[in-house]
Structure formats: structure tokens, C-alpha cells
Structure 1
């Protein structure tokens, strides 16, 4: 039986925006270990499911797809992002708590 992970991807370090993080992803777990091809040193695998990545608008759609096709799945909830909104002027305000450094 195939196993899969359902998650919402985090933004990469190269992004400042939220692109490619809105949809839920169903990704199959590797069914077999990867092996190194002795002549060229390439890494290969006979598992074709590891190449499949499905994207869904909602978590429920991804779970329904997995149940319909008999895929055992594990759901990972996204961590909530804490945002601290600061203004540049706060660096220079009179009653600031941090030490001033140059």
C-alpha cells in the first residue's frame, strides 16, 4: 500500500513573498532505498511514485483523493507564522528598550 504525506509547503529562503505556499501538496514517501549507480555515480531509484507530486486547493480535497485511491496518508498541519510589525522610526524613538549601537 502506498503511503503519502499531505502538507502545505513553507516558503523558501529565496522568497520574500508567499508564492507556491497556498496549495496543499500530496507527496508519496519513498518505497525503496536509493542506490548509487557504480559507473557514473548517479543516484537512482526504481520507485516511480516518488516522482509524483499532486497539488490541491484544500486539505480536505487531498485527504478525499487519498481515501478514494486507497493511499495511506499522514497530514502535517502548517505552523502559524508570528508577525511582528515594526516601523523604521522605532529604531530612534526616545523610550526604546534596547541599547543603541553604532
Structure 2
């Protein structure tokens, strides 16, 4: 059972930064998805792929994974670059 630990990115469709400070432990899929023959929806019998746990900090997520023997990889958060631009720069 393997998982990944990451920090949620900011939603590109909204200006708010809600839930971007929490860390997420998400289990990876153990079997491939396949289409349902009757409805055509894709799914699998893997129920662990539906589990998403949130933590206040990265260390808490790592401690949880270590406590329950989950092989977890931590994905580092890229640095946030702020591009400062003045309105007058549009007319140069």
C-alpha cells in the first residue's frame, strides 16, 4: 500500500486560497480502472483510492504514514513566485 503526501495547489478558477495550507495523504491506485459493461462508467474495486486524509502539517502526515506502515512519498511544494506589475507598464 503506497501513498503520496502533497500540499493542495491554489484553485486556478478562484482567487481565494482556502485549504491550500493543509497537507493531503492520498492512496495510489492498486488496480487499473475499467469501464462498467452496463452503464459505461469507469471504476475499479479499489476502495483505498477513495480515501483522502488531510493534516495540518507535513510532519503529521508523515507520522501517520509511519505509524500505520504506509510507504508514502512526499511531493515538495514549488516556491510561489509573485510577479509584481504596475498598471502603467501596459502603456510602455
Structure having the higher Rg: 1
What corresponds to 2:7 in structure 1?
Answer: 8
Q: Cα distance, 1:73 vs. partner?
A: 0.3
What corresponds to 2:74 in structure 1?
Answer: 75
TM-score normalised by length of structure 2: 0.92
Please give the root-mean-square deviation of Cα atoms over the aligned residues, in Å: 1.2
What corresponds to 1:59 in structure 2?
Answer: 58
What corresponds to 1:29 in structure 2?
Answer: 28
Q: Cα distance, 1:8 vs. partner?
A: 0.5
| Uncovered stretches (5+) of structure 1, i.e. residues with no partner | 97-102
**C-alpha separation in 2, matches of 1:44 and 1:84:** 41
| Uncovered stretches (5+) of structure 2, i.e. residues with no partner | none
TM-score normalised by length of structure 1: 0.84
Q: Deviations over 1:43-75 (max 9, x none)?
A: 121111100000001000000000001100000
Moved over 4 A (4+): none
